[in-house]
Structure 1
Amino acid sequence: MSTGMRKPLFALLISILLFTVFLVPASAADTTPTGETPSGIPYNRLEREIDAYVNSYIGKSTPGAAVVVTKGDRIIFSKGYGHADLERRTAVDPAATVFAYGSINKTFVWTSVMQLVEAGKMRLDQDIRAYFPKEIAEKLRYDKPITMLDIMSHTAGYEQHPLSTFTLSAENLTSLEETLLSNQPEQIYEPGQVIAYSNFATALAGLAVEKVSGESFSDYEMNHILKPLGMNRTSGHPTLADHPDLREAEAAGYAVKQEGGFEARAHYYVPLYPAGAMEGTAEDLARFAMALYAADSPLFTRPETARTMFSRSYTPNEEILSNAHGFWEYRAEPHVVGHSGNVKGFSSNFAVVPEEQLGIVVLTNTEIEQKLTSGIINLLVQDKARVTEEPVPAADLSPSGELAGYYVQSGGTYSTYHEVTNYLGLIKVEAKGEHDLTLSVMGMSGELKQTSPNVYKFAKSDNPRFERLAPVLYAEISDGEVVRLSKGIATDILPLKGSRSLPALISYLALAILAIVFFLLAPFVLLIRWLLRIRKGALSTSAGSAGGRLLAATVLCGTLLVVNILYLLVNAMINENVTVGQMNFGVALNWVLTLLAAGLFVFSLVKSRSVPQSKWQKAGRAVTGALFAGFALLLADWNFFHFIP
Structure 2
Amino acid sequence: MIDDRTTRRSVLTALGGLGLSSTGTMVSRTSAATDSRDNGPQRGDPFVHPDELEAFVDETLAKRIGTTTPGATVAIVSGDTSVLTKGYGVADVDSGEPVRADETVFRVGSVGKLVTYTAVIQGVERGVLDLDADVNTYLDDSEVTVPDTYEDPVTLRHLGTHTAGFESTLDPGIVSEPTALDSLETILIDRQPSRIRPPGELVGYSNYGAALAGHVVAGSHNTTFEEYLQSEIFDPLSMSYSTFAQPIPDNQPGYLAAPHVRRDGSFTVADDVYINMRPAGSLSATATDMVAFMKAHLCDGAVGDRRILDRKTTEMMHSRHHVRHQAVTNWRYGFHEYGNPDANLIAHSGATVNFTSYLLLAPDQNVGIFVAFNSNPSERPKAIVDEIVAEFGLQKAPTTPTPTSRPGSQKRAETVAGEYSLTYLPQSGPLQVVDLLEHLTVEPAANSHLQTTTLEGDARQWVETEPYVYEEVGGHDVLAFEVTDGEVDVLNMSSEPTGVYQPVPFHERQLVTGGVLGTALSGFGLSLVGWGGHNAWQQLKQYRTDNESGVEDSG
Please tell me the TM-score bracket, short chain as reference: 0.7 to 0.9
The counterpart of 1:255, out of the listed 261, 273, 276, is 261
Residue 426 of structure 1 corresponds to which residue in structure 2?
A: 439
Per-residue deviation, 1:480: 2.0
Query: Does residue 1:216 correspond to 2:227, yes or no?
Result: no
CA distance, structure 1, for counterparts of residue 333 and residue 242 of structure 2? 23
Per-residue deviation, 1:160: 2.2
Using the TM superposition, name which of 266-275 and 406-415 deviates more.
Answer: 406-415
CA distance, structure 1, for counterparts of residue 360 and residue 93 of structure 2? 28
Per-residue deviation, 1:130: 1.5
Secondary structure of the 1:359 match is strand
TM-score normalised by the chain length of structure 2: 0.80
- Kept in 2, the 8 Å contact 1:254–1:366? The answer is yes
AA at the equivalent of 2:485? D
Per-residue deviation, 1:198: 0.7
CA distance, structure 1, for counterparts of residue 434 and residue 405 of structure 2? 39
More helix as a share of residues = 1
Deviations 1:298-317, CA, capped at 9 Å, x for gaps: 44453111111111211211
CA distance, structure 1, for counterparts of residue 144 and residue 29 of structure 2? 59
- Kept in 1, the 8 Å contact 2:329–2:337? The answer is yes
CA distance, structure 1, for counterparts of residue 78 and residue 418 of structure 2? 47
Residue 343 of structure 1 corresponds to which residue in structure 2?
A: 352
CA distance, structure 2, for counterparts of residue 406 and residue 342 of structure 1? 28
The counterpart of 2:69, out of the listed 62, 69, 74, is 62
- Kept in 1, the 8 Å contact 2:94–2:269? The answer is no
Aligned identity (percent) is: 26
Residue 168 of structure 1 corresponds to which residue in structure 2?
A: 176
Q: Residues 301, 183 of structure 1: CA spacing in aligned structure 2 closer, same or farther, 3 A cutoff?
A: closer
Query: Does residue 1:353 correspond to 2:362, yes or no?
Result: yes
Per-residue deviation, 1:119: 0.9
The counterpart of 1:126, out of the listed 111, 133, 154, is 133
The counterpart of 1:571, out of the listed 516, 522, 526, is 526
- Stretches of structure 1 that go unaligned for 5 or more consecutive residues are 1-24, 461-466, 514-564, 580-645
- Kept in 2, the 8 Å contact 1:113–1:122? The answer is yes
Using the TM superposition, name which of 225-234 and 359-368 deviates more.
Answer: 359-368
Per-residue deviation, 1:336: 1.7
Per-residue deviation, 1:217: 1.1
Secondary structure of the 1:149 match is helix
CA distance, structure 1, for counterparts of residue 449 and residue 29 of structure 2? 58
- Kept in 2, the 8 Å contact 1:68–1:78? The answer is yes
Residue 200 of structure 1 corresponds to which residue in structure 2?
A: 208
How do 1:6-405 residues align onto structure 2 when only pairs under 5 Å count? Answer: 27=30, 38=46, 42-132=49-139, 136-137=144-145, 139-161=147-169, 163=171, 165-241=173-249, 244-246=251-253, 249-257=255-263, 259-295=264-300, 297=302, 298-300=306-308, 302-331=310-339, 334-368=343-377, 370-380=379-389, 382=393, 385=396, 394-395=405-406, 398=409, 399-405=412-418
Q: Residues 263, 427 of structure 1: CA spacing in aligned structure 2 closer, same or farther, 3 A cutoff?
A: farther
CA distance, structure 1, for counterparts of residue 459 and residue 441 of structure 2? 9
Query: Which structure has the greater CA radius of gyration?
Result: 1
Deviations 1:140-173, CA, capped at 9 Å, x for gaps: 5322221212111111111222756411111111
Using the TM superposition, name which of 406-415 and 375-384 deviates more.
Answer: 375-384
The counterpart of 1:443, out of the listed 421, 432, 457, is 457
- Kept in 1, the 8 Å contact 2:131–2:157? The answer is yes
How do 1:471-510 residues align onto structure 2 when only pairs under 5 Å count? Answer: 471-488=477-494, 489-497=497-505, 500-503=507-510, 509=516
AA at the equivalent of 1:438? T
Q: Residues 227, 26 of structure 1: CA spacing in aligned structure 2 closer, same or farther, 3 A cutoff?
A: closer
TM-score normalised by the chain length of structure 1: 0.69
Secondary structure of the 1:395 match is coil
Per-residue deviation, 1:61: 0.8
Secondary structure of the 1:179 match is helix
- Kept in 1, the 8 Å contact 2:301–2:314? The answer is no
Per-residue deviation, 1:274: 0.4
Per-residue deviation, 1:189: 2.2
Secondary structure of the 1:484 match is strand
Secondary structure of the 1:266 match is coil
Deviations 1:382-413, CA, capped at 9 Å, x for gaps: 55655669868532775222111112222222
Aligned residues: 489
- Kept in 1, the 8 Å contact 2:462–2:472? The answer is yes
CA distance, structure 2, for counterparts of residue 66 and residue 416 of structure 1? 37
Per-residue deviation, 1:76: 1.6
Deviations 1:527-584, CA, capped at 9 Å, x for gaps: xxxxxxxxxxxxxxxxxxxxxxxxxxxxxxxxxxxxxx998522346766458xxxxx
Secondary structure of the 1:419 match is helix
Secondary structure of the 2:132 match is coil
Residue 458 of structure 1 corresponds to which residue in structure 2?
A: 472
CA distance, structure 2, for counterparts of residue 55 and residue 400 of structure 1? 44
CA distance, structure 2, for counterparts of residue 65 and residue 26 of structure 1? 24
- Kept in 1, the 8 Å contact 2:107–2:285? The answer is yes
Using the TM superposition, name which of 144-153 and 279-288 deviates more.
Answer: 144-153
Using the TM superposition, name which of 330-339 and 198-207 deviates more.
Answer: 330-339
Secondary structure of the 1:47 match is helix
Secondary structure of the 1:414 match is coil
AA at the equivalent of 1:327? F
- Kept in 1, the 8 Å contact 2:161–2:331? The answer is yes
Secondary structure of the 2:481 match is strand
Per-residue deviation, 1:58: 0.9
Using the TM superposition, name which of 189-198 and 205-214 deviates more.
Answer: 189-198
- Kept in 2, the 8 Å contact 1:448–1:459? The answer is yes
Q: Residues 393, 457 of structure 1: CA spacing in aligned structure 2 closer, same or farther, 3 A cutoff?
A: closer
RMSD (Å), alpha carbons = 3.2
- Kept in 1, the 8 Å contact 2:419–2:509? The answer is yes
AA at the equivalent of 1:322? N
- Stretches of structure 2 that go unaligned for 5 or more consecutive residues are 1-27, 33-39, 535-555
Secondary structure of the 2:91 match is strand
